[in-house]
């Protein structure tokens, strides 16, 4: 079981990390360097945004419509499977959906 001290320490550690990254970004901007132009930073920020949006979107959908929220994950799984199986099958799948 998680103790209160462990959860509080992890939360403050995470906040410290976020503020340290923001401080580093501000220092780099003051020097005239941009960390935003880095493709890794862009990909990580996009991944964090999409993860949060998907989580809160699915929770809201589950709260308002019940079991039908499963279609959101199921359709994504189908699309990923079709894409990884092969581009030709993915293209046929998209074309038949219209």
The whole-number average pLDDT for the span 73-79 is: 73
Per-residue pLDDT of 23-64, as tens digits, reads 888 888 888 887 777 777 777 777 777 777 777 777 777 778
- What is the pLDDT at residue 85? 67
Distance CA 33, CA 25 (A): 9
Per-residue pLDDT of 78-87, as tens digits, reads 777 766 666 6
- What is the pLDDT at residue 97? 62
What's the angle, vertex CA 76, arms to CA 50 and CA 97, rounded to 5?
125
């Amino acid at each position: 079981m998680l103790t209160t001290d462990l959860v509080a320490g992890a939360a403050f550690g995470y906040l410290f990390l976020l503020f340290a990254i923001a401080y580093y970004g501000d220092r780099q901007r003051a020097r005239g360097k941009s960390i935003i132009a880095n493709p890794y930073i862009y990909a990580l920020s996009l991944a964090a945004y999409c993860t949060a949006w998907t989580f809160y979107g699915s929770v809201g959908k589950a709260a308002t419509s019940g079991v039908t929220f499963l279609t959101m994950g199921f359709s994504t799984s189908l699309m990923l499977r079709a894409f990884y199986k092969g581009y030709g099958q993915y293209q046929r799948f998209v074309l038949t959906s219209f």
